[in-house]
Structure 1
Amino acid sequence: MTTGHGGNGADGWSAAVRERLGLGRLLPLGDTADGAWLAERAATTALRRAAADVPGATLGRLRLCLADPGSADPPAVKPPPSALPPGVLRIEGDFSAVGGEPLPDVAERLRTALHAHAVDRLGLRVTEVDLRVTALLEEGPTADPGSGGGESSGAAAPVGATAVAPRGTAAVIAANVPGVAHLSGSLGSAVLVTTGHVRVELATAAGHHPPEVARAVGRAVSAALPSHPTVAVLITAVDVPG
């Protein structure tokens, strides 16, 4: 009896760790005062979709990090566990290119697409995109562009995209803000309420700008609670279909 209970607890803990690690870095979203973060996994998934539309290039390794950790600002609100402090970001990636076109032209096309999507669509403060060509291809990629450049196209929901039913006032308020597809619970609780502070974890719906949704959630939750707490928002998935 005891052994069985311990095994279930270990399995639950292991699943939680896998879910947390699957999010990748928690990237600062918007400005210092916004109190918002975006999971790296969500960002790279969206960026891979954008890169799939760039002719002549196939994106490989992709990561986001602080461009200058020493110049990052302290967050205005208590951040999620292990979240990066607010600061400008850098995209680093590898790609394969189809022969027949100058590599600098292909790299610039891919760099422009990644930067524009990161800044305009996701709201990330990206100032650098560093790309390295790792292979030359004789023909274009044969993979389905809809697969996201290496992301699984199976039926399983990506990390951070599983919906969690709202429980409690703060959760119900957050879940009903326009642009929130659903709450998620990769860090253990979709909404964590502590003294003077609330952390909300969610996915944003297709057609909505993540920073705007995060700011709206922060304002709505803070206004709805008597203590008017600070609010940190972690977005774990974007462009979730309605």
Structure 2
Amino acid sequence: MQLRMFAISATFGLGLVGAAEATTYTSDPVLSHFTAGETYATFTNYFNGDAPPGTYTPTNATLNERVYQGGAVAGLDPTNNWILATFGGPTASIRVFENEDHYGDAYDGYQYQIYGRNAAGGWDFLFNALTVAGAGEPFTLGSFAGTAPTRVNNVLSDGGPVAYIADFTFANAYSVYAFGASTEAINAGNPDDEFSAIGRAAVPEPMGWTLMITGIGLAGAALRRRRAVAAPMAS
């Protein structure tokens, strides 16, 4: 029976790790909960928007503005429209402030794919929204390639500056991120993406490791109890 408990404990711990890594969906309407203390990447390689084309670094006071209509980037798909977001140093956790201007269209909250690069390296593929689920706002991510967002905050505002705020944590840190139109957006006939800002996301608590350690601890305790019971019988 103790051996069976060992197996159940280990399986339970590993199973919860997967669940903890799934995307969490929230609907917090208070934008300041996501912008306090933020430092934003600098946008380049965009050719339209509320900010003049060239170089633009958003602030909390300018999140009502947007950039869109990216261009070609060496090393990436030349048929896509790429906007670059550059941080002062490498970061593995980013917060995407997507700009909603097609309220009710499923693709609009997930209209991007992401690549990352450091100064001396090439581009690493990170994420692409392949499909979107739901019959109306708020939509959720359907199928995807790469690393899913840890959280998506669906702020429902028709014509609002920021709608879907997505947090990502990648395996590696990058100083430059490239955003192109996602497969979902291209299939919907919108081969572009629009952003208010790209910030640094707070690193989420590693609940997966906590649950795994707890599972292993329970399993170890069960094994020790089994040995304690078996010892008098052996003597």
TM over 0.5: no
Q: Which has the higher helix share?
A: 1
TM-score scaled by structure 2?
0.30
Which entry has the higher C-alpha Rg, 1 or 2?
Answer: 2
Q: Which has the higher contact order (CA 8 A, sep 6+)?
A: 2
TM-score scaled by structure 1?
0.29
Q: Which has the higher strand share?
A: 2
